[in-house]
Amino acid sequence: MIKKLLSITSIALFSVFTVTAQSTVPNGNFESWSGQNATSWNNLNGVAPGSCTKATAGADIHGGSAAIILKTLSVLGNTAPGTAATGTINLLQQTVTGGVAFTDRPDSLTGWYKYAPVGNDAGNIVAILLTADPARDTVGIATFFPSGTVSTYTYFKAAFEYRLPDAPTQALFIMASSGATGGQVNTMMYVDDLGVVYNPTVGVDEALADKIAVYPNPVSENLFVNMAGIQGANVSIFDITGKKVAQHNLTEKLNSINVASLANGMYVYQVSNNAKETLKTGKFIVK
């Protein structure tokens, strides 16, 4: 009856999104609850009772009067990670439906967490920014993997990796106490004050972006990246699903990248420096 939950990233790739009226992490401080259900967040309590609960003890709360606790359970012989998502979780179809309206490009996903793993278990906290239906292309993704015992609330900050230059229209936030494989029963994850932050010093520097030239478009064999003296950079190439299909280190001069092995279609390039700051993004067609 119950299938093992896919990894957070896998679920996201097959999700269907419906816009609601939010514009940030909904109920990210987990102060609003109806019983053991956090407002704006769905969970697996219907098939795995107790996998998501409200924290009320002082030591289990970072700020305010509540936090969320996710616990990995055994249900009918299967491992069910404690899961919460700003959408409807369908284990049989292995999808998440739903989403929140979101049009910004934040720097990072942030929050506070405690983690009590069994064995080498590791959790997931993910934010995915997408374009509008029906394409639902991944604009950016931020992922944090809690692991190891963290007994007191600890701050985390996971940078968004932007894969498209487009502004997003939707966002999905998902958390799980264990991964898709190797999940251990009784692993527990506590999360509070989940949010996004904006740092104007991080992102695309327009002056640098103007110096970088990527051509030709369309391309059939060699894609050229002229860095015009900018050192310490690399280029990543993604297909339309957001999957990284290539990455190359760049010199400060003219670089030739053979893309003849790529299937015909649309791709996205992202030029970044060694500090993982995005310098330039764009699209090109292989034909």
Query: pLDDT of 201-249, one tens digit each?
Result: 444 456 677 889 999 999 999 999 999 999 999 998 877 656 778 999 9
**Token pair in block for residue 32:** 């609003």
**Token pair in block for residue 217:** 């478009």
What does the pLDDT look like over 132-163, one tens digit per residue? 877 788 999 999 999 999 999 999 989 999 99
* Higher pLDDT pick, 287 / 93: 287
Class of residue 199 by CB neighbours under 10 A (exposed 0-12, middle 13-18, buried 19+): exposed
* Higher pLDDT pick, 94 / 8: 94
Q: What is the separation of C-alpha 184 from the centre of its chain, rounded to a whole number of angstroms? A: 23
Q: What is the pLDDT of residue 238?
A: 79
Contact 29, 64 (CB under 8 A): yes
- Kind of pairing between the strands at 138-144 and 124-130: antiparallel
pTM value is 0.66
In angstroms, the CA 67 to CA 272 distance is 36
Mean of pLDDT over the chain: 83
Sorted by where each starts, the structural domains of the chain and their CATH numbers stand as 8-197 (2.60.120.890), 206-286 (2.60.40.3580)
- By C-alpha distance, which of 112, 137, 109 is closest to 25? 109
* Higher pLDDT pick, 14 / 233: 233
**What is the mean predicted confidence (pLDDT) over 92-109?**
79
